[in-house]
Structure 1
Amino acid sequence: MKSNFTKIILCFFLSISTYAQTYNTFYQSIVDNVSASNILTDLTSFENFGVKEVGTSALTNAENWITSRYTSLGYTDIELQPFTYSSGTSNNIIVTKTGTVYPDTYIIIDAHYDTINGPGTNDNGSGTVLLLEIARLLTNINTEYSIKIIHFSGEEDGLIGSNYYVNNTVNPENLDIHLVFNLDQVGGVNGATNDTITCEEDRSNPPANNSDSSIITNILANCIELYSNLNTQISYAYASDYVPFENNGEIITGLYETNETTHAHTPTDVLTNMDPAYLTEVTKGSLGALLEFAISTNALSINENIQDTVNFYPNPSNNGVLNLNFLNTTSNNRSLKIYDVLGKVIYTKTNLQVAETIHLKDLQKGIYIVILEIDNRTTTKKWIVN
């Protein structure tokens, strides 16, 4: 349900992306703040709510806990989307963080918070807690694309909440979705060697969005390995909340534990049977990937303490030529990096002269980010090539 313009742009950028992502030190600085203590505390809280089946007070209590967390973090666009079926009435929890460049195009990152037959600390307290920790760390971080963090309900009864969202929000509102990133059962197995996460791609019919899903999933796998200590393997997507989006023609990806627990959907799906350290690493990799997908711009914001000024022209450029003039600078340590809109570094140069001309005549038309660094201080320009 994307506009033709968005489809063209998305296909263009996916076609020029490579499977090897560039390590981003700013993204790492955010990832480094993932808290194992927070994750353990939240898993305990989730477990203590009990069996969170639709129609129970336990699920309502979990819903209130999740919603209040976002409120306490300062998020204001929090929607409870009610839906009713044979098991009762429940709510999808939808939190929107608006992007700075593409406010009407969304990265959806989701996990379900309902459980069946047990407290579901792994299935899917792990995904729920991961979203809460990511949300905490994104509170003051800008991204170019908007992000919708969605906690679906009714997953265990047949993807009820996610189907409702697609049918009653995505399609009626013609929601422009860049990609959907699903998290389900990523908590690992106690006592096992949990060193690999499975990245899931679309291999279903109709196949029209499969190749784009494969590209996105490879990007996810590379980001997991860049920002966590986990290895990755790629498999197929099935039986979770990305399926209604997949059927709707959206581009999907997801994560699922490689060592699959034997405790899912039982009373023994509890914290002692999973691996919180593994979940911490999954959270780190997921956060790095989300920053890559949504294109965080905080690293690109102007450092107000920079006294050096830079003349930067022409902008727009009609031929890929960029002129730089550094004024009032006493530093000899000047460098630049140019990024495309997927966050990939396409050009780097160090030891810049006071007057420098960059020739990039083979650049595709589009928007690029130029980061200039002077003695570890940064300033950034958005550069348009016509």
Structure 2
Amino acid sequence: MKNLLFSLSFLFLISNGYGQTYVPFYGTVVEQVSETNVLTNLTEFENLGIKRRGTTALQNTLDWLKAEYLSYGYTAAQIQEYSFTNAGTTCKNLVVTKVGTLYPDKFVIICGHYDTITGKGTNDNGSGVVTIFEVARLLQNIPTEYSIKFINFSGEEDGLVGSQNFVSSVVNATNPKMDIRLVFNIDEVGGRADMTNDTITCERDTGSPTSNNAASNAFTNQLITCTQLYSPLNTYLSYAYASDYMPFEDNNEVITGFFERNETPHRHTSTDLLVNMDPHYVYNIAKAATGAMLNFAVASTTLATNDLSNEYQVSFYPSPAKDFLNISLGTLTDSHYTFTLVDLQGKSVINKQIENAQLIETVSLTGLSKGIYLAVLETAKNRISKKIIIE
């Protein structure tokens, strides 16, 4: 991916000046990062071959990605493919969405590319892929205030084609434009087998437009703090360039990122293999990334004893609502359900069958009076209800 040395980097001495402290529950989650998973997934990624545009290997890798997310408990409704044309071939970005509890329309994106060039790319960027896997696995059943999008981009090795397409055709094409809190990019974090890998580079925005640079610096300082709170790694502060966060940066979004401190000489070659990298380093980076994402998305600090966890993370928003109500299917796997809105007199004012349900369905509230209602989602096996306010 990147082929220049960090010439402007400098060591950053960490402090807790941003008000961050160790959160014990976050620590218990981080300790569940599995070194066995990291090694197994790196091996599987390598065995999938050279993931170049238009190849069977690239499609097989996409299928593997989807199967992994499904195995973690994400549902088909949470997984979307976005196709784009890359040098005359069709490639796909994979997006897994987890809806937040307080800010469902504001997203923390964690991303990394899965395409490779010349070689199998176990470091560039199998290391980023397996790191995102562990974060997604561990956050699947933990409520977060902000929504999360786990994104695996294709076309990075052809000049950030996939991420650029996503920004133009999804982020800016959403009405209103997608509201992004932060983009956290993970690219080439495998280290070197012939060196001691105990430091991770944390990247901030220093380019144009400059209006997002201060926010990027603040989030990168949070990333540094989280890395040192939840992993044994040291940190090194540098600038962002030449990876999938750049189209977001150009779009005036706030970005940060991870990149290996000891840069591999095997990038973009047939020797970018597991034997030449440090899987234990990737394990430690997965711990740091998990702690950071718990912080960035503002995760709950208790285990699954609350209503949201017991009710498959189904949510109805906004509340108060006015013209429409969004229904988030959460982790329910049912593609058919009945939605009912009941007023205080027990009368059903809306009764709608939802077939082939998407993750988010929208129901019009036109003509309804202001007041308190009961929103009910019912499947063949589950009945979930929550109070909402229409104003």
TM superposition score category, shorter chain reference: 0.7 to 0.9
* Structure-2 residue corresponding to 1:158: 159
For the aligned residues, what is the CA RMSD?
A: 1.4
Give the CA deviation at 1:303: 7.5
Residues 91-145 of structure 1, C-alpha deviations (whole Å, 9 max, x = no match): 1000000101111100000000000000000000000011111111112111110
* Structure-1 residue corresponding to 2:318: none
TM-score, normalization by structure 1 = 0.73
* Structure-1 residue corresponding to 2:218: 215
CA distance 1:44–1:20, shift in 2 (3 Å) = same
Query: May I ask how many residue pairs the two structures share in their alignment?
Result: 288
The AA in structure 2 aligned to 1:115 is T
SS in 1 for 2:267: coil
Indicate if the aligned counterparts of 1:189 and 1:261 stay in contact, CA closer than 8 A: yes
1:145 equivalent to 2:146? Answer yes
The AA in structure 2 aligned to 1:233 is Y
The AA in structure 1 aligned to 2:152 is H
Matched ranges for 1:1-386 at <5 A: 18-76=17-75, 77-173=78-174, 174-299=177-302
SS in 1 for 2:123: coil
Indicate if the aligned counterparts of 1:20 and 1:219 stay in contact, CA closer than 8 A: no
The AA in structure 1 aligned to 2:188 is Q
Provide structure 2 residue ranges, at least 5 long, that are not aligned to the other structure: 1-15, 308-391
CA distance in 1, matches of 2:259, 2:233: 13
The AA in structure 2 aligned to 1:172 is A
The AA in structure 2 aligned to 1:47 is E
Give the CA deviation at 1:219: 0.4
Indicate if the aligned counterparts of 1:113 and 1:152 stay in contact, CA closer than 8 A: yes
The AA in structure 2 aligned to 1:278 is Y
Indicate if the aligned counterparts of 2:186 and 2:258 stay in contact, CA closer than 8 A: yes
CA distance in 2, matches of 1:303, 1:44: 37
Indicate if the aligned counterparts of 2:145 and 2:297 stay in contact, CA closer than 8 A: yes
CA distance 1:301–1:70, shift in 2 (3 Å) = closer
SS in 1 for 2:212: helix
Provide structure 1 residue ranges, at least 5 long, that are not aligned to the other structure: 1-16, 305-386
CA distance in 2, matches of 1:244, 1:303: 38
Give the CA deviation at 1:20: 4.9
Give the CA deviation at 1:240: 0.1
Indicate if the aligned counterparts of 1:97 and 1:146 stay in contact, CA closer than 8 A: yes
Indicate if the aligned counterparts of 2:203 and 2:257 stay in contact, CA closer than 8 A: yes
The AA in structure 2 aligned to 1:37 is T
The AA in structure 2 aligned to 1:290 is M
The AA in structure 2 aligned to 1:73 is Y
